[in-house]
Chain A
Amino acid sequence: AQSVTQLDSQVPVFEEAPVELRCNYSSSVSVYLFWYVQYPNQGLQLLLKYLSGSTLVKGINGFEAEFNKSQTSFHLRKPSVHISDTAEYFCAVSDIWGSQGNLIFGKGTKLSVKP
């Protein structure tokens, strides 16, 4: 069975500092990995995804993530955060993509960017 662990429930950081949000997964088959962002009182928006190919994935808003199969990780990074990045971030995994894929979500990491 698949599962996703987000290792930090809250991450406080100062503006313009780098940040890493950690995500580990378990899956016995092929994996497809995603990061979503949720701003306060809004729905989820896709930041980036790994389906195949290059293990370094670039997404929107300057975020990137690296798929590490040996460490079963998919950590999200940004070299310099802004106040507007304050949000909750969810890592998700699926083992079937296309029309029958179900996403398993982590419990979320709240990123708080302070001036």
Chain B
Amino acid sequence: NAGVTQTPKFQVLKTGQSMTLQCAQDMNHEYMSWYRQDPGMGLRLIHYSVGAGITDQGEVPNGYNVSRSTTEDFPLRLLSAAPSQTSVYFCASQGDDEQFFGPGTRLTVL
């Protein structure tokens, strides 16, 4: 049982490049979400999913896309990276009464 895994751990992009942050969980949870963490801002919800085929926007969705084709995977796509997307990204998977967080992806956009 690996919990929530995220890849890559670190990534540097140039402005305008695209990339996908991967997230997977092996706990058969229906609910998954993506947060970004910026200094002094706490964590802010980007997108979430209540099950395969169902996604919705959170507080800060602009510039990001998600899809949920399987229960296990919930990738986050940056279509055209901007310096404002420099952040640490956390994926989370929710059980009965607890959210489990992945280790994070530290993204820098130059």
Q: Chain A contact residues (Cβ within 8 angstroms of B): what range?
A: 20 to 34
Residues of A contacting B: mostly: loop
B61 at the interface (CB under 8 A from A): no
Q: Is the CB of A43 within 8 A of B99?
A: no
A54 at the interface (CB under 8 A from B): no
Chain A, residues 30-63, CB within 8 Å of chain B (1/0): the string is 0000001000001111100101000000000000
Residues of B contacting A: mostly: strand
Instruction: State in angstroms the CA–CA spacing of A107 and B48 once bound together.
Output: 20
Q: Which residue of A lies closest to B90 (CB)?
A: A43
| Given A107-B40, A107-B42: A44 touches B98 (CB 8 Å cut-off) | no
| A61–chain B nearest beta-carbon distance, Å | 16
Q: Is the CB of A49 within 8 A of B94?
A: no
Number of interface residues of B (CB under 8 A): 24
On chain B, the residues within 8 Å of A49 by CB distance are 97-98
Given contact pairs A36-B101, A98-B96, A105-B42, a sample of 15 additional A-B residue pairs in the complex whose CB atoms are under 8 Å apart: A42-B104, A45-B101, A46-B98, A46-B99, A49-B98, A102-B33, A102-B45, A102-B48, A103-B43, A104-B45, A105-B44, A106-B42, A107-B40, A107-B41, A108-B40
On chain A, the residues within 8 Å of B51 by CB distance are 99
On chain B, the residues within 8 Å of A9 by CB distance are 40
A101 at the interface (CB under 8 A from B): yes
| B30–chain A nearest beta-carbon distance, Å | 5
| B61–chain A nearest beta-carbon distance, Å | 12
Q: Which residue of A lies closest to B58 (CB)?
A: A102
Select A90's contact among B40, B42, B94, beta carbons within 8 Å: B42
Q: Is the CB of B102 within 8 A of A43?
A: yes
